[in-house]
Amino acid sequence: DAFVFPGGKVDSQDHGLPDPFPLAAETERGLRSSASVNASTARALANAAIRETYEETGLLLARPAEFRARAGGTWQEFERRGLAPDHAALRMIGRAITPSSSPVRYHARFLVADAASAVGELRANDELLDLDWYPLEQALALPAIDVTKILLEEARQIALAQSPPRPARRAFIRYRGHAPIIQYERN
C-alpha cells in the first residue's frame, strides 16, 4: 500500500557482463562508497538496477551495441534486441541502510536516469500495481515510506537544478531507532 521504486537484489547473472557504456565516474564512486564494493561489484549493482527496471516495468535502459549475454534470463532479451545496458545513463542519488530493528536488512543504492534513455513501453507485472509515469510533484504527494520521499525530493532538486542532471551530492540515509538520519556525500 505504498509507492516504491523498481528494484531488487544483485543476481549471479548481473556479474561479468560486457560494459560498452561505462558508468560515469561520480556514479561509480557513489556505488563504491561502501568499503566492500569494488569496480566489478559497482557494475553488477548497475546491471541489477537496469535488469530489475526491465523486469518490473518493461523499460530497458539500453542503447544499440554489440552485446552477448553470458547467462540466460533477462539479459538475453537485451541481446535479442541488439541492445546493451546503458550504465552511462545512470546517476546515483543516494543509498539507504534499513533500521537495525528491521527483520531483513538492506543496503540499497538508488539510481536515476532520464526517461528519454528508456527503450520500450511501460507494462504492468505481478510485483507493481499502479505502474505509471508520475510528475515529481505528484509523486511526492503519493503514499510512500520516508526513504522514497527523501529520494524523490533529491530527484526533484536535480531536475530543478540543471540539465542534463548530474547530482552534486548523494543522500546517505540511516536510522536512529525509526527516525531517518540523512547525511550527504559529495560526488
Query: Tell me: the pLDDT tens digits for 77-88?
Result: 999 999 999 999
Spell out where the chain has E strands: 60-64, 83-85, 91-97, 107-112, 118-119, 169-176, 179-186
pLDDT of 64 > 90? The answer is yes
d(CA 12, CA 31): 18
Share of the chain above pLDDT 70, in %: 97
d(CA 178, CA 186): 25
User: What pLDDT sits at residue 165?
Assistant: 57
User: What pLDDT sits at residue 166?
Assistant: 64
Query: Could you read off the pLDDT of 94-114 as tens digits, one per residue?
Result: 999 998 888 888 899 999 998
Cell of 40: 566489478
CB-based burial of residue 25 (10 Å sphere; 0-12 exposed, 13-18 middle, 19+ buried)? exposed
Query: Could you read off the pLDDT of 127-169 as tens digits, one per residue?
Result: 788 889 999 999 999 999 999 999 999 988 888 776 655 667 8
pLDDT of 178 > 90? The answer is no
User: What pLDDT sits at residue 73?
Assistant: 85
Distance of CA 179 to CAs 8, 137, 182, 185, Å?
23, 24, 10, 19
Confidence of residue 57 (pLDDT cuts 50, 70, 90): very high
Check if the beta carbon of residue 62 is closer than 8 Å to that of residue 119.
yes
Helix (H) / strand (E) containing 26: helix 25-31
User: What pLDDT sits at residue 164?
Assistant: 56
Distance of CA 116 to CAs 12, 61, 113, Å?
29, 9, 8
Its pTM stands at 0.92
